Amino acid sequence: MKKLLLTTAMILATTPTFAAEFTVKAVTDDNAKKQNFFSPDKLTIQPGDTVIFENAQDSSHQVMFISQPKGVDEMIMSPMQEKKGEKFTYTFTVPGTYKYHCHPHEALGMDGTIIVGAPSKAGETKVMDHHKLAKKLESGEAAPASGSVAATGKVVSVDAAKNTIKIKHDPIKSLGWPVMTMTFTADNGVDLSTYKEGDAVSFTLKPAGKDDYTISTIKKN
């Protein structure tokens, strides 16, 4: 019996913990006291877990992280979501406190907090200067004169059916962009079927509107 109990304990101790997946919805409800909000707006998860930020209706929302642990080396920001069902996913690997808001509804208090593992202690977080970046994007200051932008990065995920690819790109000086994880749509004729998570890539971005870019060329490094 003792041997059986010891064996069972060893199995439980070596069983891997599987990452979980959570959904946070960006909600606009004209009949609610607070008309724009995240649901839930407070979430506690574990390192390795993934959060899906989903637009609950046809309304403009954009997730921007305004404070995060110092160990995170990128600016976490979603594309603008305007259609019901549009999603932005992010896997949290660094423990600590993350705070975010919806950029279009910042003044209305549409914000949220995610605790990964345990809350950050004093001095362990940093404020992200996304306002400066957003201002450049909205004004067109960041757009280079040539119109196209060369960039490098690493593939996070691919949806070949939708012709989209999520890339953690290196800093793009010509746009004033720091390291960010972003989802891009590829132009017609750009084949994404051979790309997978972890691929190092070089790609070219082409303006596709006021603050949007599409991928016109891409290749593995």
CATH code assigned at 82: 2.60.40.420
3 is a domain residue: no
What pLDDT is attached to residue 15?
45
Helices (H) and strands (E) in the chain, counts: 2, 15
Parent domain of 183: 143-220
Percent of the chain with pLDDT over 70: 83
Query: Mean pLDDT over residues 98-117, rounded?
Result: 94
What pLDDT is attached to residue 17?
61
Same domain, 43 and 124: yes
Same domain, 89 and 33: yes
End of a domain among 103, 128, 153? 128
Query: Mean pLDDT over residues 8-18, rounded?
Result: 54
CATH code assigned at 208: 2.40.50.320
115 is a domain residue: yes
Q: Pseudo-torsion of CA 86, 26, 120, 50, nearest 10°?
A: -30
**pLDDT tens-digit series, residues 180-217:** 888 889 999 999 999 999 999 999 998 876 567 899 99
End of a domain among 95, 128, 161? 128
Query: Mean pLDDT over residues 149-169, rounded?
Result: 91
**pLDDT tens-digit series, residues 26-74:** 999 988 889 999 999 999 999 999 999 999 999 999 999 999 999 998 8
- DSSP conformational letter for 162: T
The number of folded domains in the chain is 2
Same domain, 51 and 84: yes
